[in-house]
Structure 1
Amino acid sequence: MFVQTILLILLPLGVSYFISRIRYSRFQKYADWPQLPPSLIWGHMKALHEFIARGEERRHIDIVFQEIQEHLGNPPLILYDLRPVQFRLCVVGSHEVAEQIARSSKSFPYSMKKSPTMGALEPLLGPHSIITQQGEHWKGLRKRFNPGFAPQHLVTLLPCILDKAIQFTDILDGYARSGEEFSLDERCVSLTFDIIGAVTMDKDFHAQLDRSKQDELVRLYRELTTTYRRGSSVQWDWLDPRLNWRRRTLSRRIDQLIAEHIKLKFAELKSKSTEKRSRSVLSLSLQDIDQLNTQVIQETCDQLKSFLFAGHDTTSVVLQWTFYILSRTPRVLDKIRRELDDLFGPDPSPAAVQEKLLAPGGEELLKRMSYTSAVIKEVLRLYPPSGSARYMPPGSGFNVQLPDGKTLCLDGVVIYLNATLVHREEKVYGPTKDEFIPERWLGNTDTGLGLIPDSAENQGDGDGSVASAHVPASAWRPFERGPRNCIGQELANLEARVILACTVRRFDFEKVGVGALARDATGAPILDAAKGQYEVETELFNTMQVTAKPIDGTVVKVHLAERAT
C-alpha cells in the first residue's frame, strides 16, 4: 500500500516534469532561432505539412523550404524540429553561414562531420563510402582516389567520352526521324552511366542499348535507385521494412558483381603480360595495393558504388535542365551555337566535334568554351542536384555567426547546406535571382576544371548580365566547398562540355506535358520579351529521387535543327 501511494504521488510529478522538458525544448531552447510556429506534440511537422499541402505535393522539399524561407522574411537559416520522427534540422540558406560550416578549421580540419541521416543511402553507397566517411579514414580514401579524377588525367579520357556521346547523338537521330516522345532522363542517365562505368571501372555497361543487352549491374542499379522515388515532399522510408529489405537485397548483388570486377582488374594489373594497362579510376587506385584482402575489396567496392551513383546522376540532371532551358531561351541558344561554330567550325555534326577535340589543340578548345561554361554554371545555380547534410554532436561547441552578428550554437542539430536557397540569395543575385542569365558568370566561368581562363573578352555584353565580381565564391556551391567538395566535379564538367558541343547545334528539343511551351492562336511560341524566354503552360519542377530531378523524367520530342537537315 505504501509503495502504491508513493507511485501515485510520483507519477504526476514525473509526467509534469516530462511535459515541462518538452515545453522547454519545443518553445524556449531555440526561441531565438528563425522558425515556424512549433507544436508541443508535433514540433514543426504539422506546420511543415501545411506548407507542403499548399502546392504540388510531389515537388522537391527544397522548393518547400524556399517557400517557407520567403514566408519568414528570408532568414539565413531556419530550424525545423522534426522529433520524434527525425532529428532537429537546421536549413541553411546563407552562403556566409554555409561557408563557416563547410570550411576547414583548427578543431575540424576536414570540415564538419557528415550527418547520420546519410545512413539511408547506405544501400546505394556502401558503409565505407568516401561520401560518408570521416576524419583520417576519409582523408586516406580521398588521397587514394584523387589521381583518377585529376584534370590532367581526365583529359586523356576524351576519346572514351566522345565515343559514348556520339552513340547518344545516334539515338537522338533515331527519335528525330520517328517523332516519338521519350524520356530525356532515361537517355541521359544511360549516357552518363556508360561514361562513368568506362572511366571508373574500364567496363562497358552497354547502358545505352536495349535493357535486355545492358550489363546486369546497370539493371540492378536502376532498380535500386527507383526504390528512392518519392510520391511526396517528405517520406519516411525507414518505416517500410519491405522497402529496406529490397534495397539491401539489390545492394548485396551489386556488391558481388563489383567485387568480381575488382578481382579481375587487380589480376590484370599485376600481370606482366598485359600490353596496355588500364588507366581507369579503379586501376589507378589499385596500383599501390600489394594484396587484395576482404577489407580492400569492400572498401574499393563502396567507392565504386559511390562514383557510379554520383558520377552518373549529376551530369544527367545538368543535361536535362540545360536542353530544356535552351529550348525556352532562344537568345542563349543562339549565343551558345555561335560560340561552338567559332570553335569547331560550321559543321554541326558530332563527328566534326570529335575530330577537332582529338586533334592537337583539342584541350585548348575546351578552355575556350566560355559561354558554354557560363550556361552550365547558371543551370547548376538554378537547379543543383543536391546539398550537403552535416552534424555536430552535443557538447562540441560549434558556433556560427549570422550576417546580423548574432551567434548560434549548432550542436546536436542536423545541418542542411541547401544549395537551392544559397544559389537564389537575393542579396547576392539581386532581383534576377530566379532568372536564367548565363552572362552573370562571364569573366568567371570556371565550373571546377580550371580549364576556362578569366579574360577581358569574357566580360558581360549588355544582355542584362550581372557582374560575376559581385558573386562571392561561396555563393555557388553545387559541388559543395571546403575539404569535402565533390571529388568528381571535374569529370562532371568535362562531360557536360563535350556532350553539349556534340548536341546543341544538331538538335532542337520540344518539351511535352509539364513545362511545354505556351502557344498563340497560330501555334507560335509566346515570348516573354522581358526575360527573353518562351512562356510555358505549366512550370517544370524538381521532385526527389535521391537527388533533385525533373518531375516527369523530362518527356520531350527532338528534331534535327534546321542547319543539320
Structure 2
Amino acid sequence: MLKSLVLAGFSLLAAYFYNKLRYKRFRQYASIPQLPPSLLLGHLKLMGEYLARGPADRHPDSVFIQMNEDLGRPPLMLVDLRPVNRPMVLIRSHEIAEQISRPSKAFPTSIPKSDLEYLEPVIGPRSILASHGDEWKALRKRFSPGFAPQYLMTLLPCILDKTVSFTEHLDSFVKLGDDFSLVPLGVNLTFDIIGAVVMGEDLHAQNAEPEKQSELIRIYRELVSAYIDDKADLPWWLIPRTIMKRRRLGKRIDAIVKDIIQRNYIAESDNGRSILSLALQDTKVLTPQLIDEACDQIKTFLFAGHDTTSTTIAWIFYELSLTPRALKAVRAELDDILGPETGVAEVRSKLLSPEGPDALRRMKYIAAVIKETLRLHPPAATARTTKHGTGFTVRAPDGQQHCLDGMIIYNCETLIHRDPDIYGDTANSFVPERWIGQDDEQSTSDLFSNQIPLSSWRPFERGPRNCIGQEFANTELRVIIAVVARRYDFVKVGLGEVETDDRQLPVTTEDGRFKVKSELYNVSNGLFLPNNRPYTNTCTIDKTSQY
C-alpha cells in the first residue's frame, strides 16, 4: 500500500513538473516569434546546430541573423536559453529598439542594463555601465563635460602624438615588407590614447618591448586573458581559481588607477587637461567614495573604449581597401581640406592649427565612411532587463503588444543595421554615400539621410544610456584616418583577401568593389558586454606600402 502511494506521489510530481516545463517552453512566450524549441534544452541545441554550419569561433550574432532569416525576419524573436540563462528576446526592428532605449515614466533613464556582476574585476561595482537611476545620473553628469566636442578639441595634441607613434610602427613594416596584424596595433594605439586623454598618463602601450609598457597595461592584458581563456559568465564554483585570479588582478589594477586619480587631483590645480582632472575640478575633498567611483569609471573607459575602437579602425581600412571609389573619395577630401602634403608632421601641424577643429568638422565623406563601417560592423549592442511584474510592454510594427518582463532584451545592432526594409538592396554592402547630403552644422552623431530613420543607426545605442564616449570615438577615428589614409595602401592577406585574375589584378564586382576569396567575420573573445561588447577582427594580417 505504502509503495503504491509513493509511486502515485512520484507520478503526480513528475506529471506536475512535466506540465510546468511544457508550459514554460511552449506556451509562456508563445506569442513571440521563435523557432521550434526543444522540451529540455529550448533553443540551445538549435543554436549549436547553427554554429556547426560555419566557423566555430564566429560571433553569436551571425547565428542570430541566420535564425531570424529562417524565421522570416520577424521584428523580434525569442531565443530560449534555459536552463543555462534566462530567455532572450532579440530585437531586429529599430522601432522596438527605440521603445527599449528611450526614457519613460516607469523608467526615467530607460530600461535597466542586464547584470554585469561577472565583469566586476574589469569595470568595478560602481561602473557607469552597471549603475542605474540617480547613481547613474550623478556619474554621467560628472564625466560628461570631458567628452563634449569642444573639450575634446583641447585634447587633440594627445590623440595626434599617439597616432604619430602608430605610423612609426606602420613605417617599420613598410620598410621590412613584413605581414602584420592591424588589430593589435590598433589596440595599443587606443590604449595609449585613452591613457593620455582620460587619465593624463603615458601607458607606453605601443612600446614594442612589453617590459617597457606600463604596469597597468601589463596587468590589464593579463586580466582580460583570464576572461578569454574561460567562459566569461560561468558560475564561480565551476572556475574558482579563475575567479580568484580575476579578483586579484582587479585589485592590483584598482591600486594603480587610484594612484593615478590622486595625481590627477593634484594636477588639476596645476591646470591638468585630462578628462579625469576635469571631472575632479570641483571636488574640494577627494573622499574614498569619490576615488572608488572615479576608479571604476576609468576602468570602464579603458575596457569599453580600447577594443571597440581598434577593431573599427581595422574594419575601416579593410572596407576602404576593397572599395576603390571610397578610398579615392577619402583621399580627395583630405587633399581638399588639409592640402596635398601627406607627411605625418605636415598633417599633424594642420590639425593642430587654429583651423584644425574646423578641418575635422568638414570631413563629411570620412564621417560617412565611419558611419557606414559602424553600421556594417557595430562594435557594441545593448542588453536590458526588467523584473517580473514590472509590466514592460513593447508594440511591434503590426500593432501586437508583447510583455518582456524577466527576459534578456537584446537590441541586436547587427540585425537592425542590416534591415533591408530600411537599407534596401544594399543593406549588406559598404556604401558610405548613403549618409551624404546633410546639413553641415549637424554633429557627427546626427548625420542621417532624410530617408533613413534616426533610430535605425545605433552603434552607440540611443536614449539616456547612449555611449558617453561616442564623440571621443568619432574624433579619434577622424584623426587616425586623416593621418593614415593617404600614407598607406593596406592589402589583406589570408582570410578576406582579394581575388585576382591571371594578371594578378583585383577582380571587380558589378558595384565596383574588389571580390574576395573568403568572407571576413567577427569572432567572440569570451567577453560579452551588452552595451560595449568587444569583437575581434579575425585574421587581420596586412601588407602595407607607402602611398
Q: TM-score range by the shorter chain?
A: over 0.9
Question: Superposition pairs for residues 167-186 of structure 1, below 5 Å?
Answer: 167-186=165-184
Letter in structure 2 aligned against 1:383: H
Distance 1:193 1:183, change over 3 A: same
Could you say which residue in structure 1 is the equivalent of 2:530? Answer: none
Q: 1:178 and 1:192, CA in 2 relative to 1: closer, same or farther beyond 3 A?
A: same
Alignment partner, residue 163 of structure 1: 161
User: How is 1:437-452 mapped onto 2 (pairs within 5 angstroms)?
Assistant: 437-444=431-438, 450=443
Does 2:516 correspond to 1:536?
yes
Structure-2 residue corresponding to 1:139? 137
Contact 2:198/2:298 (8 A) holds in 1: yes
% identical equivalent positions: 49
CA contact (8 A) 1:191 1:207 kept: yes
Stretches of structure 2 lacking an aligned partner (at least 5 in a row): 528-532
Show the counterpart of 2:425.
431
Corresponding residue of 2:462:
481
- Matched residue, 2:30: 31
Q: Partners in 2 of 1:223 and 1:15 — Cα distance?
A: 48
Q: Paired residue for 1:377?
A: 371
Inter-CA distance 392–449: structure 2 relative to 1 (3 Å threshold):
farther
Q: Which amino acid aligns with 1:342?
A: D
TM-superposition CA deviations, 1:250-304 (whole Å, max 9, x none): 212111111111122223445xxx3xx2121111122222322322221111000
- Normalised TM-score (structure 2): 0.94
- The match for 1:52 is 51
- Structure-1 separation of matches of 2:5 and 2:439: 73
Question: Is 1:41–2:40 an aligned residue pair?
Answer: yes
2:476 pairs, out of 491, 495, 501, with 495
Deviation at 1:386, TM superposition (A): 1.8
Question: Shift of the alpha carbon at 1:361?
Answer: 1.7
Determine helix, strand or coil for the equivalent of 1:224: helix
* CA drift at 1:449: 8.3
Matched residue SS, 1:227: helix
Counterpart in the other structure of 1:262? 261
Q: Tell me the matched-pair count.
A: 538
| Equivalent residue for 1:554, pick from 523, 540, 545 | 540
Superposition pairs of residues 68-147 of structure 1, within 5 angstroms: 68-116=67-115, 118-147=116-145
1:507 is displaced (CA, Å) by 0.2
Residue number in structure 2 paired with 1:291? 285
Query: For the residues of structure 1 that align with 2:321 and 2:422, how far apart are their CA atoms?
Result: 27
Counterparts of 1:487 and 1:525 in 2: how far apart (Å)?
41
Q: 1:449 to 1:126 in 2, by over 3 A?
A: farther
Aligned match of 1:461: none
Q: Do the aligned partners of 1:387 and 1:419 also contact (CA within 8 Å) in 2? A: yes
Q: Determine which of 268, 272, 278 is the counterpart of 2:272.
A: 278
Of 194, 198, 211, 1:200 maps to 198
Deviation string 1:138-182 (CA, Å, 9 cap, x unpaired) is 001000111111111001111111111111111111110101111
Q: Give secondary structure in 1 for the equivalent of 2:216.
A: helix
Alpha-carbon contact 2:258-2:291 (below 8 Å) kept: yes
Matches of 1:151 and 1:552 in 2, distance apart?
32
Which deviates more from structure 2 when the two are superposed, residues 332-341 or residues 304-313? 304-313
How do 1:353-432 and structure 2 match up within 5 A? 353-432=347-426
Cα deviation for residue 247 of structure 1 reads 2.1
2:64 is aligned to 65
Partner Cα distance (2:311, 2:174) in 1: 21
Mapped to 2, the partners of 1:322 and 1:510 lie a distance apart of 13
Q: CA deviation at 1:536?
A: 1.3
CA distance in 1, matches of 2:117, 2:420: 33
Distance 1:75 1:452 in 2: 28
- Residue pair 2:368, 2:433 contacting (<8 A) in 1 also: yes
Compare 219-228 and 486-495 and name the one that shifted more.
Answer: 219-228
Q: In the aligned structure 1, how far is the partner of 2:449 from the partner of 2:268?
A: 46
- In the alignment, is the contact (CA less than 8 A) between 1:58 and 1:230 conserved in 2? no
Q: Distance in 1 between the 2:99 and 2:219 partners?
A: 39
Tell me the residue number matched to 1:521.
502
* CA distance in 1 between partners of 2:315 and 2:468 (Å): 22
**Does the residue aligned with 2:425 lie in a helix, a strand or coil?**
helix
Alpha-carbon RMSD across the aligned residues, in angstroms, is 2.0
Structure 1 residues without counterparts, runs of 5 or longer: 455-466
Evaluate the alpha carbon distance shift between residue 285 and residue 449 of structure 1 in structure 2; reply closer, same or farther with a 3 A threshold: farther
Contact 1:34 1:78 in 2 (8 A): yes
Q: Matches of 1:156 and 1:268 in 2, distance apart?
A: 16
CA gap of 1:132–1:61, structure 2 versus 1, over 3 A, is same
The alpha-carbon deviation at position 45 of structure 1 amounts to: 0.6
